[in-house]
Amino acid sequence: MSLLAGPEPRAPAVNKVAILRQHELFRELDKDSCDQIAAYAKVREFRREAMIFSKGDPGFCLFAVVRGKVLVTSSSSEGKSVVLNQFDKGDIFGEIALLDGRPRTGDATALTDCCLLALERRDFLPILTKKPEIAIKLLEILSGRLRRTTEQVEEMMFLNLRGRLAKTLLRLTEGADSLSAELSQNELSQRVGMSREMINRQLQVWSREGVIALARRRLTVLRPDTLADIASR
Amino acid sequence: MSLLAGPEPRAPAVNKVAILRQHELFRELDKDSCDQIAAYAKVREFRREAMIFSKGDPGFCLFAVVRGKVLVTSSSSEGKSVVLNQFDKGDIFGEIALLDGRPRTGDATALTDCCLLALERRDFLPILTKKPEIAIKLLEILSGRLRRTTEQVEEMMFLNLRGRLAKTLLRLTEGADSLSAELSQNELSQRVGMSREMINRQLQVWSREGVIALARRRLTVLRPDTLADIASR
DNA sequence: CGCCGAGAGTGAGCCGCCTCACAGTTCGGA
DNA sequence: TCCGAACTGTGAGGCGGCTCACTCTCGGCG
């Protein structure tokens, strides 16, 4: 869009249609509509730590993750923060502000270098009215999000440090081949929403009990069932 | 549906179409579709305290509130509970389970005697595919819910007793002509998610300061701006 | 090679909220 | 009219998590 030499990296050649097709939202869409959306969609790259959007911004677009990971958080005036969601390859995010036209509900930052597809509101909304199956898929996705967020409310209400940490560890390592995750205890404490020191003490206990294994910036779950047990009490 | 004389009260004569039209979801719907939905919709009445559905139930229908108030909560195995949502006349609820076909995420109980319209999944889903404008309205409603629930997560994370109580009082009394609400301190403590005793102590302080007025099962906000101030810190 | 910064581990004290216990008050119904 | 149940008010003690302050380890880089 800009003619200036900006910080925006050169957009690589990306088969946008193929990307879109990866997502359930567009999988069954007919070829013409898909081509049309793809034509409008912009490829945007972000470096690790880069801000994608901020809480309160007007939300004009929907993002699909082509490559990398995105974290959505919210911060208080005193500097505390909660993790609201994490999105990986194939996920879409940013749809709330897009749908109701109100400001973004959280901050989105790139957790790793990543590549996104951005769909503008004005290009996306017409599709919804023409293709109800897309709208219905989107309804299912939103329902899932609402379930997830409701679960988060329950966790915060019902679980203490042990339970919340156990749940977080399971979520972080699920999908990973070796049940292991790479992050500092500081980052972990942000995910759990409790202090680094307390997190550390509990990890020590579990490490001594052989439930997990600890290394610098790396954590491996050895006995997931034990954690699952703790998390569901 | 049943031929037996059950506990279900006699359904009164209700103009279902008029009820449906009250809701933004159906306001702009054409007459034929609206008649059709109304024909399928069942009127159901519930007494105060009655259970409408339980967490984990398969969710086959969507409800619209014709009269009364409904509270949706979730409970832990230890008996603690959180209030997830309250629905008043004109609201719809129960749409998540309906849309994604998975179990209900909370318990719904009648806060007052109330009258609901129930729309079955099999009758409602076809409408969505035929009338994309309905699907889009529903997307907006879900977005709003997600915003509200996200806000709840932020509150639980960032606010202490004072802040959360202040927010709850404002929510409870907003819309009321006299900024006053009728409920026991026990019920209030459930809304806030903190102990009755602590709630009481804070109310005493505010009462002495003239911020609120207290009476048996009645609470009046005298200086809403003071509370708003406290809530946003 | 040695330094420096990021990360990990740990004690001590504090603070907010919870629970238990109990007394006082109000109100509806037998 | 009196009893019991629901509701309100309040003290005391305990616990979980936070903060502060510090040490120790590791790894990268000049």
Note the pLDDT tens digit of each residue in B115-134.
999 999 999 999 898 889 89
A54: CB within 7 A of chain C nucleic strand: no
Q: Which nucleotides of D are covered by protein (CB under 7 A)?
A: 6-12, 16-21, 26-27
pLDDT tens digit sequence for A164-204: 999 999 999 998 888 999 999 999 999 999 999 999 999 99
The beta strand positions in A68-185, using DSSP E, are: 70-75, 81-87, 92-93, 107-110, 114-120, 180-181
Measured in whole angstroms, the distance separating CA A216 from the mean position of its chain's CA atoms is: 24
CB-CB: which of A147, A152, A233 is closest to B153? A152
- The C-alpha atoms of residue B102 and residue A222 are separated, in whole angstroms, by 31
- Check if the beta carbon of residue B81 is closer than 8 Å to that of residue B73: yes
**Residues of chain A numbered 160-219 and touching chain B (CB < 8 Å):** 193
In 3D, which of B152, B23, B16 has the Cα closest to residue B86? B152
Residue A4, pLDDT > 80, answer: no
Minimum CA–C1' distance nucleotide for A159: D16
Average pLDDT for residues A206-229, to the nearest whole number? 97
pTM here is: 0.93
Q: Which residue has the higher pLDDT, B219 or A130?
A: B219
pLDDT tens digit sequence for B55-97: 999 999 999 999 999 999 999 999 899 999 999 999 999 999 9
Helices (H) and strands (E) in chain B, counts: 10, 11
% pLDDT > 90, chain A: 75
Give residue A26's pLDDT band: very low, low, confident or very high (50, 70, 90): confident
| CB-based contact, A106 to chain B, within 8 Å | yes
Question: Token pair for residue A32?
Answer: 């013409």
- CA angle (A16 as vertex; A13, A17 as ends), nearest 5: 140
In 3D, which of A117, A126, A145 has the Cα closest to residue A14? A117
- The C-alpha atoms of residue B40 and residue B27 are separated, in whole angstroms, by 17
Question: What is the length of chain B?
Answer: 233
**Residues B157/B161/B166/B167 CA torsion (nearest 10 deg):** 20
- Check if the beta carbon of residue B15 is closer than 8 Å to that of residue B7: no
pLDDT tens digit sequence for B40-51: 999 999 999 999
Question: Token pair for residue A99?
Answer: 């749908």
Look-up: residue for tokens 């409790």?
Answer: A194
Question: Token pair for residue A60?
Answer: 């004009």
Which residues of chain A are within 8 Å of residue B74 when distances are taken between CB atoms? 150, 153-154
Question: Token pair for residue B85?
Answer: 């949502």
- Using DSSP, state whether A170 is helix, strand or coil: helix
Which residues of chain B are within 8 Å of residue A140 when distances are taken between CB atoms? 99-100
CB-CB: which of B77, B99, B129 is closest to A143? B99
Question: Token pair for residue B130?
Answer: 């035929």
Closest-CA distance, A120 to chain B, in angstroms, reads 17
Average pLDDT over all residues of chain A: 91
**Residues B110/B116/B121/B125 CA torsion (nearest 10 deg):** -130
Please return the burial class of A6, using the count of CB atoms within 10 Å of its CB with bins 0-12, 13-18 and 19+: exposed
Q: What is the DSSP letter of B226?
A: H
- The C-alpha atoms of residue B132 and residue B134 are separated, in whole angstroms, by 5
Minimum CA–C1' distance nucleotide for B202: D9
Q: Which residue has the higher pLDDT, A79 or B54?
A: B54
Question: What is the length of chain A?
Answer: 233
pLDDT tens digit sequence for B20-38: 888 888 888 888 888 888 9
Please report which residue ranges of B101-131 form alpha helices under DSSP H: 121-130
Give residue A13's pLDDT band: very low, low, confident or very high (50, 70, 90): low
- Using DSSP, state whether B154 is helix, strand or coil: helix
Average pLDDT for residues B220-228, to the nearest whole number? 98
Give residue A34's pLDDT band: very low, low, confident or very high (50, 70, 90): confident
- The C-alpha atoms of residue B217 and residue B181 are separated, in whole angstroms, by 8
Q: State the amino acid at position A139 in one-letter form.
A: L
User: Half-sphere exposure of residue B49, counting CA atoms within 13 Å on the CB side?
Assistant: 1
Minimum CA–C1' distance nucleotide for B164: C17
Q: What is the DSSP letter of B10?
A: P
pLDDT tens digit sequence for A137-168: 999 999 999 999 999 999 999 999 999 999 99
Which residues of chain A are within 8 Å of residue B130 when distances are taken between CB atoms? 132
User: φ, ψ for residue A32 (rounded to 5)?
Assistant: -60, -50
CB-CB: which of B80, B129, B150 is closest to A84? B150
- The C-alpha atoms of residue A86 and residue A110 are separated, in whole angstroms, by 10
In 3D, which of A192, A214, A193, A194 has the Cα closest to residue A203? A214
Q: Give the pLDDT confidence score for residue A12 in this predicted structure.
A: 56
- Residues lying close to strand C (Cβ under 7 A), chosen from 133-162 of chain B, are 160-162
Give residue B13's pLDDT band: very low, low, confident or very high (50, 70, 90): low
A208: CB within 7 A of chain C nucleic strand: no
Q: What is the DSSP letter of A76?
A: -
Q: Chain B: residue nearest A192 by CA?
A: B157
